[in-house]
Structure 1
């Protein structure tokens, strides 16, 4: 057994074995250790389905890679992975479900995933055993199917060994220790005793430059050993296998092909053939989370007691869909743990606060994701970045506020939402409200309908004051939902009078000390602002792509206040702290970094009347001039007093109107909120939520992190040249320049359908050929039509270029607009008074 390797992978399920395979393929000396036998965790009892359906661009790429990769394993290893390419048929009982499939079609097209749409008549003709008279249609992936989880894992293991990977079983990690250069991993040899797997007391050490944990159901133990939080907790998933169905047996005996994997999404189940019978897998309500703190020593390749009453409705709907199954008995049943995360996406990437420690945990669709996860994580580890933006899977998307109870309840919710309609405007309700700003109750009383961002409650829009509790749920749609009219009114008011937005969820860091200026100058790509001024800038990845967007407020010569996206607090903090540690270790000056997110509330006030409203309450020797261009120019900050509230006011507005961000002590939020509402009443002030703000920023071509800005595009590709100072050296500069311009970010005005706007998932076409994709979408009150932002081939980025947007299976006219189509000269932002 080796005692020193480049990479150590912990966990011998499908995910861990794939990671080991791909790291070895990339040229790294790799070892894999497994506490029991390969596939002895959730892999062994997985149903082996390979659903390509996913609304995430990154996850769709991961799933597609897996399906394509698994088809190559037999030629490489000689082992048949048991891939049955029978297709996947996802049925729809309602038009709204078909709307969901049409939106998915946009994501699939951008990722190159082939799919078809079928009518009920076409389904019945192909598969007469199915009842189709109550269906609206279906989505079909003919190139997909199912695979044997154990066989595909063993095939990847053989491929890994052929590439030099050493795989050792019956070894459990007891501790991790980082020396500053490498990890010392202490392993204990496990032995069987009375049917249990227990430690022998015999220890061995392995030194590894990098460690990857893919520990599945044991993620909570891994979290304790590493001293971090991992919100991956298993939920029970049960499926049953029937006796042979005589009608199915006769169908196959007549020479007919195997049925595709069937999914009746509205009935919450999947079905596939199994030796003349059927496998039924429901995603029912009230499936409990298990192993919140640890997996018992007695639990190995074991199962839980089946709960047939819990899946009775799903079983009856299965009989309804396949009537011949009504008289067929049950042959076998499975109820095993499957790991989930609060949002359903796995946790893939660097562990928070640790060096060279990588997580691959929380896979609810582990067989589907295993191949692609190994491929893209290996890219991330060996090349610095993957070719797709992996931020949506990053383990640091959850902060230190996350608890075991939160993860367990959200994971249960996520399980029962597998087949629930995935509206783009969906807001799930479990564990809410949790993180609230002081004025949450006041906003709720004024009709606020909230979304959740990094645990924070944030108004999405303000609905009617007498709205029932179900209003927001009922307002959701794949088209223009019931909330759309309220967001449009808010956007119009901000353009015409003034709007007030709660932006308290913004991430805020204080960076100060003798080395602060030198650190930030090398850490970000733009010139640093002078004292009293602000600047927009970007921190880059090693690959030269965009890692984080910052508004930098320079408080003093060596003191800076950094504002970044509210959804990414822990993600930004981890990168900032590790970069600062590297700077200090390299001989840079001392600096301190503090996360002050929860110390400061933020209100954004903007619109033509914003100055007049603030003038009502500002306290100054000459109050009528304190907010003038002369004393308070655009892109500057000042300490001002609004009534009795001290405010760090920043003259910037994400909406493109005259405006200020009002950063204030969070304990004074209620006072300042009421003060602004009272002052704004005679000036037409309207409360504005995040959805209207998202539309308004697109009218100004303001890029957003997580959509236009990410780790798959450089700032130059994003069209942010004016925020890049090529006269200085900064992290990622050389890689950014070497990358060149592969695509360009543009804003498009779209003549779309009358009842729908793009969501930022749609393909962009020219003469029927895909030439780009949208990353954001919505409605423009300034132009009275749909609007979107996205990336196209560089030669198509010129204003006036005519393209098509694929929405609801139709092509709609779109034209590339000039950057900042609304008020391109910024005269409304700079207006004096």
Structure 2
């Protein structure tokens, strides 16, 4: 057996074997170890469905790759993976569900996933056993279906061996130790004693440059061994198999197999199984299991079935397939399936660790196994994947996350599988948890909150005293109840002034003798002078955009960095690892996460200066906020009443404005002071949704939408923030990449009741030429607005495009960058 390898994959389920296959195919010396037998985890009892449907762009690509990849496995390995390409039919009982499918259609078109829409009559004509009189229609994927989980795993394992990967079964990992250049992995051979697996006396070590954990239900044990947090905890999932249905048996004599059936409004999937049916519900009340560890005695085991918990779903199957009522129950399965709080798996670097990669938390592991292997191998071998995988990155969760939080959110995620996934969806479990001191004041003023990295942040301000379900009941795939409130907020900020709570922003202090040299290499723009600020970007080694920063220079080697609030741990881990790599070259560098020490209020609008003048304490309050003493893109320490403030003259909305960074313990005082001073100046409270519209009017790119690890700053149109006269990380790779697409802003003549969400495809003469990454309503232009990427030859101002929304194409035109106040006169206004 090998003891030294380039990559060690821990876990022999579908995900682990998919990763081993692709690493070995890429030429890496790879080994896979499994504590039991291949497929003995959740893989063995998975239903094997391969749904292409997914609202996430990265996950859609992963699923699509898997479906295509599995179809060629037999030709490559000689093993039949058991892929039944029967298609996937998603039925809709409501107009809202059809709206969801139309929004999904936008994602699918952007990712190149084929699909069809069917009417109830078309459904009945193709599959007469289905009751369709209460349906609105359906979405049909004819190219997917289901697969045998054990067979596809064994096929990938054989393919991995053909590329040189060694696979060792009955090997348990008991420890990991990083030497600075490799991992030493402590292992032991497992033996069967009385039906249980127990450690033998055969202990040994494996040396690996890289380690990938794909440990499924054992993720909590993995987390303890690594000393990190992994919010992957299994939830019970049960499905039942019926005896043969005589009507189905008769039907199949002259017809092909039914597609996988999904009645999302009834919360189940159904497929054929040897003349009968498999019913898999996603019911409420399914409990999380093994929050700390899987018992040693639990192998390929199951839990007792809880039929009462799925009674409603069972009866709804009979409603949709009336002939199934006569089919008795043949078998049942209730096993653990891993989830994460947001439903996306954890794929990428482990926080705080070198060359340790996670592939955990797969609730759709069979569907994702092939694609995860493909894109994770790209990350490991090439430095980045060809798609932006930030939405899957394990570092999207911070150290504030606890076991109870993960358990409760994973239970919620399970019973939300088939709910309507509105783009304005905000899930309620474990909230509120992380709150700014003014949270209660905001709630009393009608704030309707969203959650960002656990923080409660106002999305908009609804009516004071609104019912608890006001926001939930008003969600929509078109313009929800919130729309009119956000519109009023945006209009007020443009005309008078608005106050935005930006406390969730990520904030870091970077200081020390090596800080300046490090940041100069780490980011692509010139560093600001003392007392000034700059917008800049950290790049990946492959030249794409890793993080956006506002850098405030407090001293020669003292910097304050502000970045997106959703990505605190993500940003911290990357920056600290880069600083460690460069410490010997640049000198001492200190990096401190001060996110929870500073609150942030963004005050913006034509009256912002007048409001601050009423409360600023200065020898000359009339001029302290003037352009001469406090110019645009500068920072000053001010006293607002009794509150010391680090004020930064920037505004993400494109109006005159300041970010007021203040000690978190003084936040309520400052809030009250600002609101009182703003009464005479038309100050209105503004939430994140209005801000999102306003920043698009200025073409301000946002990380996670326009900015990501699949586009360079030059492709994003950020040339003015890239200093090509200096060397910085990723520079040569960025230049070598060239311009594959260009970021543009478009104004859209769209429908009367809907706006783009940033998921829509862009067309010219019926040809897909790009996609939106953001969308909304422009109060300045009175029409829909969006940002996105198109072919470089179509990025010129005035280019006519079509945007696909609600299955219709709408006229759009490329406009100049920052179409609202392109000269920045309103931001620079003096007074």
TM-score by length of 1: 1.00
Q: Which secondary structure state, in structure 1, belongs to the residue aligned with residue 787 of structure 2?
A: strand
Cross-structure match for 2:767: 769
* Residue 469 (1) aligns with residue 463 (2): no
Cross-structure match for 2:211: 211
- How does 1:59-458 map onto structure 2 within 5 Å? 59-253=59-253, 255-458=254-457
CA deviations 1:32-89 (Å, max 9, x no partner) are 0000000000000000000111100000000000000000000001110000010000
CA deviations 1:796-828 (Å, max 9, x no partner) are 000100000000000000000100000000000
Residues in 2 aligned to 1:820 and 1:381: alpha-carbon distance in whole angstroms: 37
- How does 1:422-821 map onto structure 2 within 5 Å? 422-585=421-584, 587-821=585-819
CA deviations 1:3-37 (Å, max 9, x no partner) are 10000000000000000000011110000000000
Q: Which secondary structure state, in structure 2, belongs to the residue aligned with residue 619 of structure 1?
A: coil
Residues in 2 aligned to 1:365 and 1:591: alpha-carbon distance in whole angstroms: 42
CA deviations 1:442-485 (Å, max 9, x no partner) are 00000000000000000000000021000000111000001000
CA deviations 1:354-375 (Å, max 9, x no partner) are 0000000000000000000000
Say whether the 8 Å CA contact 2:758–2:772 is kept in structure 1.
Answer: yes
CA deviations 1:173-209 (Å, max 9, x no partner) are 0100000000000101101111111111321110000
Residues in 1 aligned to 2:607 and 2:489: alpha-carbon distance in whole angstroms: 14
CA RMSD across the alignment: 0.4
Residues in 1 aligned to 2:708 and 2:41: alpha-carbon distance in whole angstroms: 34
Residues in 1 aligned to 2:351 and 2:719: alpha-carbon distance in whole angstroms: 31
Deviation at 1:591, TM superposition (A): 1.4
Residues in 1 aligned to 2:331 and 2:15: alpha-carbon distance in whole angstroms: 26
Deviation at 1:541, TM superposition (A): 0.2
CA deviations 1:618-660 (Å, max 9, x no partner) are 0000001000000000000000000000000000000000000
Residues in 1 aligned to 2:61 and 2:168: alpha-carbon distance in whole angstroms: 31
Deviation at 1:692, TM superposition (A): 0.1
CA deviations 1:222-276 (Å, max 9, x no partner) are 00000000000000000000000000000012x2110000000000000000000
Residues in 2 aligned to 1:297 and 1:349: alpha-carbon distance in whole angstroms: 28
Residues in 1 aligned to 2:298 and 2:588: alpha-carbon distance in whole angstroms: 50
Q: Which secondary structure state, in structure 1, belongs to the residue aligned with residue 12 of structure 2?
A: coil
Residues in 1 aligned to 2:266 and 2:599: alpha-carbon distance in whole angstroms: 44
Residues in 1 aligned to 2:476 and 2:422: alpha-carbon distance in whole angstroms: 6
Cross-structure match for 2:32: 32
Deviation at 1:684, TM superposition (A): 0.1
Residues in 2 aligned to 1:67 and 1:307: alpha-carbon distance in whole angstroms: 32
Hey, which bits of structure 1, 4+ residues long, moved more than 4 A? Answer: none
Q: Which secondary structure state, in structure 1, belongs to the residue aligned with residue 473 of structure 2?
A: helix
Residues in 2 aligned to 1:466 and 1:293: alpha-carbon distance in whole angstroms: 41
Residues in 2 aligned to 1:576 and 1:748: alpha-carbon distance in whole angstroms: 34
Residues in 2 aligned to 1:113 and 1:198: alpha-carbon distance in whole angstroms: 46
- How does 1:45-56 map onto structure 2 within 5 Å? 45-56=45-56
Residues in 2 aligned to 1:286 and 1:104: alpha-carbon distance in whole angstroms: 27
Q: How many residues align?
A: 831
Deviation at 1:292, TM superposition (A): 0.2
Cross-structure match for 1:22: 22
Residues in 2 aligned to 1:269 and 1:553: alpha-carbon distance in whole angstroms: 52
Q: Which secondary structure state, in structure 2, belongs to the residue aligned with residue 301 of structure 1?
A: coil
Q: Which secondary structure state, in structure 1, belongs to the residue aligned with residue 429 of structure 2?
A: coil
Q: Which secondary structure state, in structure 1, belongs to the residue aligned with residue 49 of structure 2?
A: coil
* Residue 829 (1) aligns with residue 819 (2): no
| Unaligned 5+ runs, structure 2 | none
Residues in 2 aligned to 1:298 and 1:331: alpha-carbon distance in whole angstroms: 27
Residues in 1 aligned to 2:528 and 2:764: alpha-carbon distance in whole angstroms: 42
| Unaligned 5+ runs, structure 1 | none
Q: Which secondary structure state, in structure 1, belongs to the residue aligned with residue 552 of structure 2?
A: strand
Residues in 2 aligned to 1:285 and 1:386: alpha-carbon distance in whole angstroms: 36
Residues in 1 aligned to 2:577 and 2:161: alpha-carbon distance in whole angstroms: 35
TM-score by length of 2: 1.00
Residues in 2 aligned to 1:78 and 1:194: alpha-carbon distance in whole angstroms: 36
Residues in 2 aligned to 1:59 and 1:828: alpha-carbon distance in whole angstroms: 41
Residues in 2 aligned to 1:672 and 1:145: alpha-carbon distance in whole angstroms: 57
Deviation at 1:508, TM superposition (A): 0.2
Q: Which secondary structure state, in structure 2, belongs to the residue aligned with residue 789 of structure 1?
A: strand
Deviation at 1:510, TM superposition (A): 0.2
Say whether the 8 Å CA contact 2:638–2:646 is kept in structure 1.
Answer: yes
Residues in 1 aligned to 2:26 and 2:13: alpha-carbon distance in whole angstroms: 20
Q: Which secondary structure state, in structure 1, belongs to the residue aligned with residue 252 of structure 2?
A: helix
CA deviations 1:551-583 (Å, max 9, x no partner) are 000000000000000000000000010011001
Residues in 1 aligned to 2:427 and 2:686: alpha-carbon distance in whole angstroms: 21
Residues in 2 aligned to 1:689 and 1:459: alpha-carbon distance in whole angstroms: 5
Say whether the 8 Å CA contact 2:444–2:465 is kept in structure 1.
Answer: no
Deviation at 1:589, TM superposition (A): 1.1
